[in-house]
Amino acid sequence: AQSVAQPEDQVNVAEGNPLTVKCTYSVSGNPYLFWYVQYPNRGLQFLLKYITGDNLVKGSYGFEAEFNKSQTSFHLKKPSALVSDSALYFCAVGYNFNKFYFGSGTKLNVKP
Distance CA 103, CA 19 (A): 18
Q: What backbone torsions phi and psi does residue 71 show, to the nearest 5 degrees?
A: -100, 0
* Position among 22, 24, 32, 77 found at the interface with other proteins (CB under 8 A): 32
Q: Does 97 bind other proteins (CB under 8 A)?
A: yes
Of 18, 20, 17, 16, the closest CA to residue 6 belongs to: 20
**Helix (H), strand (E) at residue 44:** strand 44-50
Is 90 a binding residue for other proteins by CB under 8 A? The answer is: yes
Stretch that binds other proteins, among 12-20, 28-36, 65-73, 74-82 (CB under 8 A): 28-36
Query: How many CB atoms sit inside 10 A of residue 69's CB?
Result: 10
Q: Of the candidates 1, 15, 8, 27, which has an alpha carbon nearest to the alpha carbon of residue 90?
A: 8
Which 40-79 positions form the footprint of other proteins (CB under 8 A)?
A: 42-46, 49, 51
| Residue (10 or 80) nearer to other proteins, CB | 10
Instruction: CB nearer to other proteins: give 15 or 64.
Output: 64
Binding flag, residue 24, other proteins (CB under 8 A): no
By CB under 8 A, name the binding residues for other proteins: 6, 32, 34, 36, 42-46, 49, 51, 90, 92, 94-95, 97-105
